[in-house]
Amino acid sequence: MNWLKTSILLAGLTALFMGAGYMLAGEGGMIIALAVAVGMNVFAYWNADKLVLRMYNAREVTERTAPGFYGIVKQLANRAELPMPKVYIIENDQPNAFATGRNPENAAVAATTGLLKILSHEEIAGVMAHELAHVKNRDTLIMTITATIAGALSMLANFALFFGGNRNNPLGIVGTIALMILAPVAAMLVQMAISRTREYGADAGGAEICGNPMWLASALQKLEQGAQSVDNTVAEDNPATAHMFIVNPLHARSMDNLFSTHPNTANRVRKLREMAGEPQRPWG
């Protein structure tokens, strides 16, 4: 069902781009904007993992330097039948985690020191299973495609702002102005809807990988409380990376939660508790 929702949202976003592209810039401008956006996001797809890990000063750990944490990830990767990802720790008091990488063969998972301090062994397993589910579902690719189309729409809006748009469109100058304002907002809303859908999918997949939905449910409650009480200044300065984290890292600035990329934590916990009624595989 999550894949169906994602497909519908992606189709809607594509249709929005095609329609708005013609209205705002005509066929030529639409093609140029899409080409530029694709180029930018191809670069991001191949390099974003390194850029984000460097941005957060993440340090890679091994089985020797962090045997407990690394061992959890290794066991989960085996259970998920995934290649072993690179494992990172971020020196940050806010409890949080994310996965990155263009495919399962080039993936990395990272957790903050704040998360490792407050969660139990089982809760850490639940969180890292969620991140490995993102890797298995190739959510990085999905969000790159989404960002490509949304970025192209923003470029079209800027094109119309400076060059007046396509005055021969069926709605005339009024339609151009309206789309110039509304199209990027609509694209952002669809992008957030896709992000939220993928979070639910990773919750379900993570519960299956670790074998007990309640481990992730318990962790989410602690992470939500911790993220709301501890600032993550790097995330606040780079809000475009917020969607990567398992819980929203933003809270310190008034506009942070206006358009949240994460579903409500209480709803996520409720769904996981519903899953807990199913037979569970033992850990280990």
Structural domain includes residue 158: yes
pLDDT of 56: 95
Average pLDDT estimate for 139-168:
68
Exactly one of 123, 131, 199, 208 is catalytic; name it.
131
Q: Which residue has the higher pLDDT, 97 or 281?
A: 97
Structural domain includes residue 246: yes
Q: What is the pLDDT of residues 263-283, one digit of tens each?
A: 999 999 999 999 988 555 554
- Predicted confidence band of residue 256 (pLDDT cuts 50, 70, 90): very low
What CA–CA distance (Å, rounded) separates 18 from 34? 10
Q: Is 131 a catalytic residue?
A: yes
Per the CB < 8 A criterion, the answer to whether 169 and 21 are in contact is no
Q: What is the pLDDT of residues 175-219, one digit of tens each?
A: 666 666 776 777 777 767 778 888 999 999 999 999 999 999 999
Highest mean pLDDT among 14-28, 110-124, 238-252: 110-124
Q: Which residue has the higher pLDDT, 115 or 41?
A: 115
Structural domain includes residue 284: no
What CA–CA distance (Å, rounded) separates 242 from 233? 12
In terms of residue numbers, what domain contains 90? 2-275
Structural domain includes residue 282: no
Hey, is 100 helix, strand or coil? strand
Structural domain includes residue 283: no
Model-wide pTM > 0.75: yes
Structural domain includes residue 239: yes
pLDDT of 163: 59
Structural domain includes residue 129: yes
Structural domain includes residue 108: yes
Per the CB < 8 A criterion, the answer to whether 9 and 194 are in contact is yes
What CA–CA distance (Å, rounded) separates 248 from 155? 27
Domain count, the chain: 1
Strands across the sheet containing 108-112: 59-61, 86-90, 108-112, 97-100
